[in-house]
Structure 1
Amino acid sequence: MQQPPASRTLWTWWVCGLLLCASTINYMDRQTLANVSERITREFSLSEAQYGYLETAFGLAFATGALVFGIIADRTNVRFLYPAVLLLWSLMGFLTGFVETYLGLMLCRLLLGFFEAGHWPCALKTTHRLLPPENRTLGNSVLQSGTAIGAIVTPLIMLKMLTDAPGSWRPVFQIIAAVGSVWSILWFFSTRTEDLAPVPTVTAVDGESAVDQDTFLSAVFSRKFLIMVIMVVSINACWHLFRVWMPKFLQSGRGYEERSMLKFMFWYHTATDVGCISAGLLTRKLHQFGYSVHRSRTTTFGICALLVALGGLIPWLSAGNLLFAVLMLVACGSLGLFPCFLTFSQELSTRHQGKVTGLLGTIAWCTSSPVHPLFGHIVDTTKSYDLGMALVCGLPMLAFLVLITLWPAKEAEIQ
């Protein structure tokens, strides 16, 4: 039975709200380790480089999972695939609370990364199927903002549950992981099989069957895909370096106590959420003012890249209000980049959205993950986090310049 337009609109945004919740769970399961990184380092007697290898393992597993689940998402119904991968990554987060060795911790991070990768192909296929082009950036902002909410909520839980006792971090992993089962029930009650079925290989044109010219190879061997590669490498290198190393930068690099660091991270990730939602709202408002869909997305991406570039000031900033202000602006820009990028990537292919998303995710994680042990070695040697963090803040501006230079002019005019 076809839903009335008003009812369907409410339903689609309700589903986007569920995507936000899935992103929140995804990042809570992911960020628990970073928020107790100093405790983990002490209890497992790890060097900075060894801690970096944990993140590399997570990232390379995520890269593998992104492609695997991207292929699966194009061939199966997302309504069933999505809760399956969410429950599996929640299980890996739950088991992390029981590990006693570095090898066990490494294995849990590997499997967590692999299954968490299924979130993005499933979520992006959902927004692509349910939302018109002019609303997709806002829909992707809602989806992406869940990552910030997860990063906001996690320090608050840590503040409530952590004690001075060794191992007090373990129940946090287990409690956060248990939330996934509730989400899965809501997802099944809120979605319908026919809305998220794979796009058929053959389409009807004027009543006759015709082979869809939307092929995976045509999407990958295109100028737009090259632009997407440069964008995804640039914005992920910046985002993940800050995600992984910010708690250590604040504690070891600027002398914050653990509780002060957790409070700082709360405000940092609140700023990322503000930037993410603002990016979607700004894109929609620019379109309402008469900008084309493409121009509104590009303008928003450029503003966010400029905010991130302010991070180049980090080496000259000591702990205090000025550092706080600069990092809040960097936070706003760094997550605001993602809904724009995700919406650009959805223009590459309809039928192969999962594989395209998965391949871009694989490229992002394969390039960003090896940076962590290298960055850890640099910190071990120089005892400073500053230079590396400042340099990556210029990468999104490079991506913006590539975008405005290389995007096909004719397509930009009609979008």
Structure 2
Amino acid sequence: MTITTGKAIPKRRWAIGVLLGIGILINYFDRINISVAGPQLTEAFKLSPAELGVLFSAFFWPYALLQVPAGMLLDRYGVTRIGRWGAFLWGLASAITAAASGFGGVFVARAMLGVAEAPAFPVGSKATGYWFPRKERALATAIFDAAAKFSNVIGVPLVAFVVVKLGWRWGFGVTAILSFAYFLAFYFIYRDPSQDTKLSQAERDYIVQGGATPEGQTQVGVVNMLGYLLTKAKVWGLTIGFAAYGYSFYLFLTWLPGYLVKTMHMDILKSAEFAAIPWAVATATDLVVGGWLIDHLISRGNNETRVRKTVLVVGMLFGLAVFGATQTVDPVWAIMWISIALGGLAAAAPVGWSLPSLIAPRGGVGTVGGIMNFINNLMGVVAPIVTGVIVGATNSFTNAFAVAGVVLVVGIVSFVFVMGPIEAIPDRD
């Protein structure tokens, strides 16, 4: 059922979508600053490539382990409360990182940041389900997912400039200031649709009748919901497939500046400029293909499962272009291959993040998102360490990129043969 009056629907939901996107943008400034500061940290603390990889992974250990508990808390206490606390705590953790006094201090502070940011993406996914009808879900999801990529376009050069001019500590200090500013914005602006006094009745009807995720808690209980979801092949197909995407994403997120410095012999500022190119491509494909194109095709009557899974699989196939980067030492060609790979992965990512709100039973969106993002972010632990070990042993990124390609193949198989149709899992009695 849809609204058929000729009146224009207000756009309050898109203001909320942009707010969520800004949050993820700043959230990722907090994550990428350590990869930009990596060369200075290596010099300051005399780190080996493997040790730097461990430092890169410090954020992801607690971040990954807390995804399922964070999703369960989100389903229990709601987007507004968890979103506020998360934004405040990640600003505090960034400030502590800036004051750390050694390798151990930076490691602990980054682990604290992982705890604070654990609910960030599940909050975005659940809020998008509340605020958008199904036919707008892809673009709405792409807004906050593209922000993760766009953070590298503007965040890497910004942090690189600050690090070069003021030192690595200010690279973390600036992101702490931005994080506290976002906390204030979220506190005063975000409400769930049923509590938002600026949401018109016409727009609320449009959202609800368009298939928005119903607000409210599951009647099953969060622990029982978790046990129920873990028995579903659809959840595991989504989880394994998205983890394969995560391996390549986190490899580039943590190691791309270091790859350009080490393999292409660039300084920090030049590597930041080159690294921004593939992330700019990823931002564009995320919004245009993973967002607008999917919604456009579905609105024209195309089968929803076929459209979403086609973009998902084709995008990950483009991710295999990472193999091309293993065959060149020319920075222009290397960036071209990496841009193709990241562009394809970015087109697939909004599909992955829209799926929890599309397949979860009532009250289970946060838990499905938590399960998916838990395994996905284990790749944030594995990818930096495996890459660091391979680079340290071979003095080359060739085999590290090849491993990423193999993992992508596993993910494609999981999406195609394990996940099945994109439809809601039945509610548990």
TM-score where L is the length of structure 1: 0.89
For residue 409 of structure 1, report the CA deviation from its aligned partner: 5.4
- Decide whether the 8 Å contact of 2:239 with 2:371 is kept in 1: no
**1:388 corresponds to which letter in structure 2?**
A
- Kindly tell me the number of residue pairs found equivalent between the two proteins: 399
1:260-275 paired onto structure 2 within 5 Å = 260-275=270-285
Any idea what the Cα deviations from partners look like across 1:343-371, whole Å, max 9, x if unmatched?
A: 22321333021122112222222344134
Aligned partner of residue 66 in structure 2, secondary structure = helix
Q: 1:42 to 1:194 in 2, by over 3 A?
A: same
| In structure 2, distance between residues paired with 1:108 and 1:410 | 39
**2:251 corresponds to which letter in structure 1?**
L
Q: 1:150 to 1:348 in 2, by over 3 A?
A: same
2:369 corresponds to which residue?
357
Higher mean displacement: 270-279 or 313-322: 313-322
- 1:57 counterpart = 2:58: yes
Higher mean displacement: 7-16 or 349-358: 7-16
- 1:220 counterpart = 2:219: no
| In structure 1, distance between residues paired with 2:392 and 2:93 | 30
1:13-412 paired onto structure 2 within 5 Å = 13-163=14-164, 168-192=167-191, 195=194, 199-202=216-219, 215-278=225-288, 279-346=290-357, 347-408=359-420
- Decide whether the 8 Å contact of 1:308 with 1:394 is kept in 2: no
| In structure 2, distance between residues paired with 1:137 and 1:193 | 19
| In structure 2, distance between residues paired with 1:6 and 1:319 | 55
Give me the identity figure in percent. 19
| In structure 1, distance between residues paired with 2:171 and 2:389 | 29
For residue 280 of structure 1, report the CA deviation from its aligned partner: 0.9
Any idea what the Cα deviations from partners look like across 1:26-75, whole Å, max 9, x if unmatched?
A: 10011000011111111111111111112332111101222222121111
For residue 235 of structure 1, report the CA deviation from its aligned partner: 0.6
Q: 1:145 to 1:377 in 2, by over 3 A?
A: same
For residue 402 of structure 1, report the CA deviation from its aligned partner: 2.9
- Decide whether the 8 Å contact of 1:312 with 1:391 is kept in 2: no
Gap regions ≥5 residues in structure 2:
196-213, 425-429
| In structure 2, distance between residues paired with 1:236 and 1:385 | 18
- Decide whether the 8 Å contact of 1:158 with 1:172 is kept in 2: yes
RMSD of aligned Cα (Å): 2.6
| In structure 2, distance between residues paired with 1:120 and 1:325 | 29
Aligned partner of residue 178 in structure 1, secondary structure = helix
Higher mean displacement: 65-74 or 181-190: 181-190
| In structure 2, distance between residues paired with 1:74 and 1:6 | 35
- Decide whether the 8 Å contact of 1:148 with 1:270 is kept in 2: yes
Any idea what the Cα deviations from partners look like across 1:244-284, whole Å, max 9, x if unmatched?
A: 11111111122222221010112221111112112111211
Any idea what the Cα deviations from partners look like across 1:200-219, whole Å, max 9, x if unmatched?
A: 3459xxxxxxx99x944332
Higher mean displacement: 325-334 or 386-395: 386-395
| In structure 1, distance between residues paired with 2:26 and 2:6 | 30
For residue 190 of structure 1, report the CA deviation from its aligned partner: 2.6
Q: 1:248 to 1:5 in 2, by over 3 A?
A: farther
TM-score where L is the length of structure 2: 0.86
Aligned partner of residue 29 in structure 2, secondary structure = helix
